[in-house]
Chain A
Amino acid sequence: MNRTDYPRFAVVGHPNKGKSSIVASLAMDDAIAISDTPGTTTRKARYPLKVDGKTLYELIDTPGFQRARQVLAWLREHETDASRRHEVVRKFVNTHKDDARFHDEIELLEPIMQGAGIIYVVDGSKPYGEEYEAEMEILRWTGQPSMALINRIEEEDYTEDWKRALGGYFQMIRTYDPMHATLSQHLKILESMAQLREEWTPQVKASIALFERYHAMMRERSAAAIAKLLYRALSHVERLTLKEGEAVEDAKKRIASRYKQRLRSFEVETQKRIEYIWNHQHLKKQQEQIRLEGLDLFSKESASVFGLTRKELLVTGASSGAVTGAGIDLAFAGHTFFAGGIIGAVVGGVGAYMAFNELADIQVLGRKIGRRTLQMGPMQNRNFPYILLGRILFHTTKVAQLSHAVRQSVNFEMDERFRERWLTDARRKQLEKYHKQFRQAKRPDEKMLAEYEALILEIIDTLLGEA
């Protein structure tokens, strides 16, 4: 029997009680096959938590018990001494290794007899039944440290009945909902796993710290991707050389379409990147989600959900203009009687108000050398960055909080109150400083981009409750 230098935990139980869901959630792997059809898992699968190739612990997803009473009957038949029951189980595994009848039992007992801790999963939304006793008895015979996880798959609650029944067989009993578990709930389960055996504690505790770091890394990477999206989208300039004899108006339509398409592709690319960062590469999105991607960024509907109202734009533009004007006042040591600030506020406010609907100017370039080129961008619409930022933050929050056990299509329907969760007046002013820079298509220095990224990270932390 193989022994390893890291803790291993076999997730076992009756068929179809959410073992794979629990493994998917704890391993943050959305590729694990999960289905409501029993027998989906036919072989054990190992999910090691590795840091730079070094395994800290391993979760083992196993098939469910199929002939538990027959196994228990065999064990009882071969029992010699109560203190040597684990040897009888080992003998059973060795004897029936190639016996198709006990394939699933061998798959689940083998890792346990190789030293894995037991995580026994039951459905707390269904009543306890006596048929579970054989399984629990077999697991007790293995002599391995064990923990029961009550997973409430549906609404009804039989948790207390289960706790009473499980109490006689397992060292500890915990409840865990893999579909809605937060990071802290995930870490609490790891804490419990750390307590199963003393020598496992340091490594599992190290894994807890690592998961926290992992989560922080995912938030940081998301912030970097979002900052890049905003910079790319706002500073993007689309150029189109006119075909010979092509009317400027036709070309303008063509360039406007290409410009919008490019902005949308930036958004979709970033959404995919966010899904990749959070290990949701197999995410299925419901029809609404597809509509979200295809939703016109420039529609009034989007603006009302994610962007700023005209009044908010006016205030944002005015305060941004006032800051610029105040700089002029400062340069003249106040001899301008603060006219700079006032004029700046008025110009900024009016500019922002007027730029509510326009996207970007289309300019005709290069007439002099006989070639005409149309140029569209950078983005002039003052509302656009807030629409785009709102959408991608919503997407990020949703993906970050989505369980890796979810296999059905996810509805990414937008919540009108979402904006209130992240866009305060103070934040708007902070963001506008950077958006203004991006809109001018000037390449901001690395320090400025880093500051913007830090601001986005702060927003993500707030949204995910990490701040």
Chain B
Amino acid sequence: MQLKRYLDLYTLLQQDRSSREERRAFGLSEAVRGKDAAEQLCAWAEAHRTSLSRPLLSEQVEGVLYHATLIFGIAAFLLGIVTATGLLSYSGKEPVNLVYFLAVAVLLPLVTMVFAVIAMFRANRARNFLVHISPAYWMTRIIGFFDRKGSLKFNTIPLNPLILNWIIIRRSQLLALLFAIGMLLALLGVVATRDIAFAWSTTLQIDAAQFHAFIEALAFPWRGWLPSAVPSLALVEQSHYFRLGGKLSETMVSHAAMLGAWWKFLAMATFVYAILLRFGMYLLAGWGLSRAIRRSMPALDGADVLLRDMNEPLITTHPDEKSVSSDMSQERLYTRMDAKMAPSYDTVVGWAIPEETLVSLCDTFSVTAAACREAGGNRTLEEDSHTLETLRGTVLLFVKAWEPPTMDFADFLKAVSQRVSKVVVVPVGTPKEGYVADARHKAVWERKLALLDYPNVWMLR
């Protein structure tokens, strides 16, 4: 898994405006079916890559990292050459103490590799001391410092600490690898161009046999197939050197040509411990980085929602088309309003109100009329026509306030208004309400009458 994919996904998630329907459709496609979260996210990012605008953040970041790595890599390589040349500097007065070289070519890599392994185990910690002491960490800091005014704003890229740590661990391995290659090339170059007498010298009370055993152990990886790169006990004995007295032993001088034979061992030790093992560490760090990227992808802002949208069934209850409704709520003031009921009318009509209730209503409102008639309700249209024929003069029309006016009522009202001089519509409440209509219900009737606007129709305020 590459950093590029992670950054592309990050950018896409930032700018994505896809609907749940689109996400679910993608989740059901062959491209993601049966895959884990990171693979699904990668597939999604791949499918949407075309919507990314250039320059891509991923390319910018990778470009900066590449150039920084190149510069630091060349520096590490040169440092390796300089270090090895320094360690192998030979004036002819004293042999080169190969213990120094072994310390830098074997011990230092092994120690830093142990640190690297510990750092790998602690990679998910934001504050990782072992990561922060790495030159690669400072490399990223320096990039950030110099890029503050640049367009990339490296420091603002929200890289997960886990990924950042693994980037640093991997870059550290690469720098160390280039340093070791520089050392090996310097060793070979110095050996090829100059005659060097190697010897070993230490304050520790180690005799030649013990040192040989140590050398044999170090040479374990290649002693089976490259015995010439494993110093013999005799060579170890002859190479033992003490600086005290400032003079070389005669035996050592007489075997000067033999002392140069150490170079094969040193070259192999550098190759195996500083290069081969480091390369293994570099591969391991690459695997770790890839795993970290894979693990971090679902933690990106918006990735959890995207994954849910892709994997959970899309349940919708919304209409395919927007529902059509009319806005009938505007205030329409009805102008033909009676403040109070007249004491008598020619006829009192109840719309869907039984005759016995009509009598109660007339009593309640102290209204008298020559006739009380029922209309609407479960009466037939013919019966309503008969009622209509009897109407004349002024009509008081009681309606149930809580039942909104239907077009059936409107038809009847229209017919009434054409026959009589005045019809007063009176919405009434339920018997439990004492026939007093709710203001909200009356407002509904008022709006409807305003909408109908039939002549001779009045409403009781």
| Chain A contact residues, CB within 8 Å of chain B | 14-16, 27-29, 31-33, 35-43, 45-53, 61, 64-70, 73, 101, 104, 123, 126-127, 129-131, 133-134, 156, 210-211, 213-214, 217, 221, 224, 228, 279, 441-443, 445-446, 449
A51 cross-chain contacts in B, Cβ below 8 A: 313-315
Q: B373-387, CB under 8 A of A: which get 1 and which 0? A: 000111011000000
A445 cross-chain contacts in B, Cβ below 8 A: 124
Q: Is B400 an interface residue (CB 8 A)?
A: yes
Q: Is B328 an interface residue (CB 8 A)?
A: yes
Q: Is B320 an interface residue (CB 8 A)?
A: yes
B299 cross-chain contacts in A, Cβ below 8 A: 443, 446, 449
A129 cross-chain contacts in B, Cβ below 8 A: 352, 377, 400, 403
Q: Is B93 an interface residue (CB 8 A)?
A: no
Q: Is the CB of B402 within 8 A of A45?
A: no
Q: Is the CB of B377 within 8 A of A130?
A: yes
B376 cross-chain contacts in A, Cβ below 8 A: 69, 131
How many of chain B's residues have a CB under 8 angstroms from any CB in A? 55
Q: Is B31 an interface residue (CB 8 A)?
A: no
Q: Is B316 an interface residue (CB 8 A)?
A: yes
B352 cross-chain contacts in A, Cβ below 8 A: 129-131
Pick 29 A–B contacts, CB within 8 A, sort by A.
A33-B323, A33-B325, A35-B329, A37-B447, A40-B329, A42-B325, A43-B323, A46-B320, A46-B321, A47-B319, A48-B320, A50-B315, A51-B313, A52-B24, A52-B28, A64-B406, A66-B406, A66-B408, A68-B408, A69-B381, A73-B380, A104-B407, A129-B377, A129-B400, A130-B352, A221-B308, A224-B305, A445-B124, A449-B299
**What is the chain B residue whose CB lies nearest that of A207?**
B315
Assembled-state Cα–Cα distance A28/B305 (Å): 21
**What is the chain A residue whose CB lies nearest that of B326?**
A42
Q: Is the CB of B326 within 8 A of A40?
A: yes
Q: Is the CB of A126 within 8 A of B408?
A: no
A150 to chain B, nearest CB (A): 15
Assembled-state Cα–Cα distance A50/B160 (Å): 38
Q: Is the CB of B444 within 8 A of A36?
A: yes
Q: B167-203, CB under 8 A of A: which get 1 and which 0? A: 0000000000000000000000000000000000000
Q: A39-B326, A126-B430 are in contact. Are A131 and B377 (CB under 8 A)?
A: yes
A36 cross-chain contacts in B, Cβ below 8 A: 440, 444
Q: Is the CB of B317 within 8 A of A37?
A: no
Give the contacting residue for A442; candidates B126, B325, B430; CB below 8 A: B126
Q: Is the CB of B380 within 8 A of A45?
A: no
Which residues of B320-342 have CB atoms within 8 Å of chain A's CB atoms? 320-321, 323-329
Q: Is the CB of A69 within 8 A of B408?
A: yes
Q: Is the CB of B324 within 8 A of A134?
A: no
A28 cross-chain contacts in B, Cβ below 8 A: 317
B407 cross-chain contacts in A, Cβ below 8 A: 66-67, 101, 104
Given A52-B28, A127-B430, A214-B315, 5 new contacts (CB under 8 A): A15-B404, A15-B406, A28-B317, A35-B329, A131-B377
B380 cross-chain contacts in A, Cβ below 8 A: 69, 73
Assembled-state Cα–Cα distance A187/B124 (Å): 46
Assembled-state Cα–Cα distance A72/B238 (Å): 124
Assembled-state Cα–Cα distance A43/B326 (Å): 9
Assembled-state Cα–Cα distance A41/B404 (Å): 14
Assembled-state Cα–Cα distance A443/B444 (Å): 59
Q: Is the CB of B315 within 8 A of A45?
A: no
Q: Is B411 an interface residue (CB 8 A)?
A: yes
Give the contacting residue for A67; candidates B320, B327, B406; CB below 8 A: B406
Q: Is the CB of B318 within 8 A of A29?
A: yes
Q: A35-B329, A51-B313, A66-B406 are in contact. Are A42 and B319 (CB under 8 A)?
A: no
B247 cross-chain contacts in A, Cβ below 8 A: none
Q: Is the CB of A38 within 8 A of B319?
A: no
Q: Is B280 an interface residue (CB 8 A)?
A: no
A241 to chain B, nearest CB (A): 10
B358 to chain A, nearest CB (A): 14
A314 to chain B, nearest CB (A): 29
Q: Is the CB of B329 within 8 A of A37?
A: yes
Which residues of B293-322 have CB atoms within 8 Å of chain A's CB atoms? 295, 298-299, 304-305, 308, 312-321
Nearest 10 pairs of A and B residues by beta carbon: A38-B404, A45-B323, A33-B325, A66-B407, A130-B378, A27-B317, A130-B377, A37-B328, A131-B352, A16-B404
Q: Is the CB of A37 within 8 A of B408?
A: no
A15 cross-chain contacts in B, Cβ below 8 A: 404, 406
B227 cross-chain contacts in A, Cβ below 8 A: none
Which residues of B1-36 have CB atoms within 8 Å of chain A's CB atoms? 24, 28
Q: B124-154, CB under 8 A of A: which get 1 and which 0? A: 1111000000000000000000000000000
Assembled-state Cα–Cα distance A104/B411 (Å): 15
B204 to chain A, nearest CB (A): 36
**What is the chain B residue whose CB lies nearest that of A104?**
B407
A35 cross-chain contacts in B, Cβ below 8 A: 328-329
A69 cross-chain contacts in B, Cβ below 8 A: 376, 380-381, 408
B420 to chain A, nearest CB (A): 22
Q: Is the CB of A443 within 8 A of B160?
A: yes
Q: Is the CB of B304 within 8 A of A224?
A: yes
Assembled-state Cα–Cα distance A47/B124 (Å): 48
Assembled-state Cα–Cα distance A296/B318 (Å): 37
Assembled-state Cα–Cα distance A351/B438 (Å): 61
Assembled-state Cα–Cα distance A449/B160 (Å): 15
Assembled-state Cα–Cα distance A326/B378 (Å): 82
B444 cross-chain contacts in A, Cβ below 8 A: 16, 36-38
Q: Is the CB of A48 within 8 A of B317?
A: yes
B316 cross-chain contacts in A, Cβ below 8 A: 48-50
Assembled-state Cα–Cα distance A31/B319 (Å): 10
Among B352, B381, B402, residue most surrounded by chain A Cβ atoms (within 10 Å): B402
Give the contacting residue for B402; candidates A33, A46, A48, A126; CB below 8 A: A126
A443 cross-chain contacts in B, Cβ below 8 A: 124, 126, 160-162, 299
Give the contacting residue for B317; candidates A29, A126, A449; CB below 8 A: A29
Q: Is B392 an interface residue (CB 8 A)?
A: no
Q: A33-B323, A40-B328, A133-B378 are in contact. Are A47 and B403 (CB under 8 A)?
A: no
A375 to chain B, nearest CB (A): 13
A126 cross-chain contacts in B, Cβ below 8 A: 402-403, 430
Give the contacting residue for B411; candidates A41, A67, A214; CB below 8 A: A67
Q: Is the CB of B315 within 8 A of A49?
A: yes
B324 cross-chain contacts in A, Cβ below 8 A: 42-43, 45
Q: Is B432 an interface residue (CB 8 A)?
A: yes
Assembled-state Cα–Cα distance A50/B400 (Å): 41
Which residues of B377-429 have CB atoms within 8 Å of chain A's CB atoms? 377-378, 380-381, 400, 402-408, 411
Among B124, B318, B405, residue most surrounded by chain A Cβ atoms (within 10 Å): B318
Q: A127-B430, A442-B125 are in contact. Are A38 and B378 (CB under 8 A)?
A: no
B383 to chain A, nearest CB (A): 10
B40 to chain A, nearest CB (A): 15
A31 cross-chain contacts in B, Cβ below 8 A: 318, 323
Assembled-state Cα–Cα distance A170/B82 (Å): 98
B411 cross-chain contacts in A, Cβ below 8 A: 67, 70
Give the contacting residue for A41; candidates B320, B325, B378, B440; CB below 8 A: B325
Q: Is B291 an interface residue (CB 8 A)?
A: no
Q: Is B448 an interface residue (CB 8 A)?
A: yes
Assembled-state Cα–Cα distance A446/B352 (Å): 68
**What is the chain A residue whose CB lies nearest that of B353?**
A129
**What is the chain B residue whose CB lies nearest that of A56?**
B315
Assembled-state Cα–Cα distance A449/B313 (Å): 24
B405 cross-chain contacts in A, Cβ below 8 A: 38
**What is the chain B residue whose CB lies nearest that of A158?**
B430
